[in-house]
Chain A
C-alpha cells in the first residue's frame, strides 16, 4: 500500500501520492513522509537596502541579508522573480547555507536584519523558522516578505520570531486572486490579521496592474479593508507594475494611476500611503500625519533626509509607528 500525505502548511492542502510534490515544487512525499528539498539550500542570497522590501518604517537605511530558495506556492502571472519562484530546486544553482551560517554572514556583513524574500518563504518554512530563531537570539530582526498564503497554525508558530512582515496584498477580490495568482484572498486577509494581532509590524504592498486591479473601486475597497481591520497606521505601498513573466503585453502602470491610488488611500484615512517603483515620486516620502511636514525624503532606495527622532516627528512630537532602532 502506498501512503498519501496532505501538506497543511498553506491553503492548497496538496494531497500527494508517493513521489509527488506539492504545488510549491519543493515538498515531496517519500516513504509516506513529507520532506522539504530546500532546507539550507538558498538559490538567491543578497544584501539589500531594507527600503527594497519595501519597508519604510523599519530601520531606515539599514542593510538586510536577503535570501530565497527555489519554488513558490503561488502562480502570479506578473511575478518578477519567476526564474526562481517557478523553478524546481534541481533547476536553480543552490548554495549550502545552514541557519547558523545565514546568521554569521548577516552579522559579518553588518546587516541589521534577515529577509526571507524573493520567492515566497512559506515554502521554505522550516529553514526560515530555524534561522529566525537563531537570528533573534543574535539581536537581528527577521523580515517575512510574503503573500501570506499560509495556514494559521504554522503562522502562529512563526510569529514570535518575526518582528516585521512585508506582505503583498495583491488585490481585494477572490476573482483576482484566483485568476492572477492561483490562490485565494480570504486566507490571506486572515493571515494578515493574525500577524497584526500577534504584534508583528506589517507593511502592505499592492502591485497595481493595468486593467486587472486598477479600478478606483478596487483600490478604495482595499484601503477601506486595511483601515477597518488593521487601522490607519499600517503603511500601504502602491507599486508600479513592469511587464514581466506572463504579462509582457501589458504597459507599465501609468504614474497618474499610482498618484490617484495614493490620493484614494489618504482620503480613506490611511496615514502612510506610498508609491513604489517610481524613484522621484513624492509618494516615496514619509510625511507626518499631524502637521504634514516631510519626515523622510527618499529617492529610490536612498534616504536623503530623516526627521524622525526616537520614533517621533522632530517638529511636533507625534509618534510615528514602526521599528526605528
Chain B
C-alpha cells in the first residue's frame, strides 16, 4: 500500500469519527431541549410575577379572545 493511500484512509476514518461526534452532540442537545419544555415545567410563582409587574407600573386587565385548552402537570 502506498503512503498516499494510507493517509487517505486515516483521513476518512477521522472524518467518520468527527461526524459521529457532531451527530451525537446534536442529538443530545435536541433531546435535552425537548425534555426542558412544558412537560417538565416548574411551577411559576404567580404572586412574584404579579409583584414584579406591579413594581413596573403595569396592571392586569383581563383579555378577550382566549381559551383554556388544557393543563400540564406541575413540578415543584
A and B form one complex: yes
Q: What total of chain A residues lie within 8 Å of the partner, measured CB to CB? A: 37
B65 adjacent to A2 (CB under 8 Å) = no
Residue of A nearest to B41 (CB): A17
B74 adjacent to A1 (CB under 8 Å) = yes
Q: How far does the alpha carbon of A151 sit from the alpha carbon of B67 in the complex, in Å?
A: 14
Residue of B nearest to A153 (CB): B65
Contact residues, A18-37 vs B (CB, 8 A): 18-19, 27-28, 30-37
Residues in chain A near residue B65, CB distance under 8 A:
7-9, 125, 151, 153-154
Residues in chain A near residue B56, CB distance under 8 A:
89-90
CB distance from B47 to the nearest CB of A (A): 10
Choose among B53, B57, B69 the residue that contacts A94 (Cβ–Cβ < 8 A): B57
A35 adjacent to B68 (CB under 8 Å) = no
Q: Which residues on B are within 8 Å of A, measured CB to CB?
A: 38, 41, 43-44, 46, 49-50, 53, 56-74
CB distance from A289 to the nearest CB of B (A): 40
Residue of B nearest to A6 (CB): B69
Residue from B63, B65, B67, B70 having most chain A Cβ neighbours under 10 A? B63
Q: How far does the alpha carbon of A36 sit from the alpha carbon of B60 in the complex, in Å?
A: 6
Choose among A3, A37, A94, A127 the residue that contacts B60 (Cβ–Cβ < 8 A): A37
B72 adjacent to A2 (CB under 8 Å) = yes
CB distance from B42 to the nearest CB of A (A): 10
A126 adjacent to B64 (CB under 8 Å) = yes
A-B contact pairs, 16 of them (CB 8 A): A1-B73, A1-B74, A4-B68, A4-B70, A4-B71, A6-B69, A8-B65, A17-B44, A27-B63, A30-B46, A32-B68, A41-B57, A90-B58, A126-B63, A127-B61, A129-B64
Q: Which residues on A are within 8 Å of B, measured CB to CB?
A: 1-9, 15, 17-19, 27-28, 30-41, 89-90, 94, 125-127, 129, 151, 153-154
Q: A30-B46, A37-B53, A90-B58 are in contact. Are A6 and B67 (CB under 8 A)?
A: yes
Q: A1-B71, A30-B50 are in contact. Are A8 and B58 (CB under 8 A)?
A: no
Residues in chain B near residue A27, CB distance under 8 A:
63, 66
Q: How far does the alpha carbon of A38 sit from the alpha carbon of B56 in the complex, in Å?
A: 12
Residues in chain A near residue B50, CB distance under 8 A:
30
Choose among A34, A89, A151 the residue that contacts B63 (Cβ–Cβ < 8 A): A34
Q: How far does the alpha carbon of A39 sit from the alpha carbon of B43 in the complex, in Å?
A: 27
Residue of A nearest to B37 (CB): A17
Residue of A nearest to B48 (CB): A19
Residues in chain B near residue A7, CB distance under 8 A:
63, 65-66
Q: How far does the alpha carbon of A2 sit from the alpha carbon of B44 in the complex, in Å?
A: 9
- Pick the 4 closest A-B CB pairs, nearest first: A19-B44, A39-B61, A34-B66, A1-B71
Residues in chain A near residue B69, CB distance under 8 A:
4-6, 15
Q: A19-B44, A89-B58 are in contact. Are A2 and B74 (CB under 8 A)?
A: yes
Residues in chain B near residue A89, CB distance under 8 A:
56, 58
Choose among A9, A40, A127, A129 the residue that contacts B66 (Cβ–Cβ < 8 A): A9
B44 adjacent to A41 (CB under 8 Å) = no
Residues in chain A near residue B59, CB distance under 8 A:
37, 39-41
Residue of B nearest to A27 (CB): B63
Q: How far does the alpha carbon of A56 sit from the alpha carbon of B43 in the complex, in Å?
A: 52
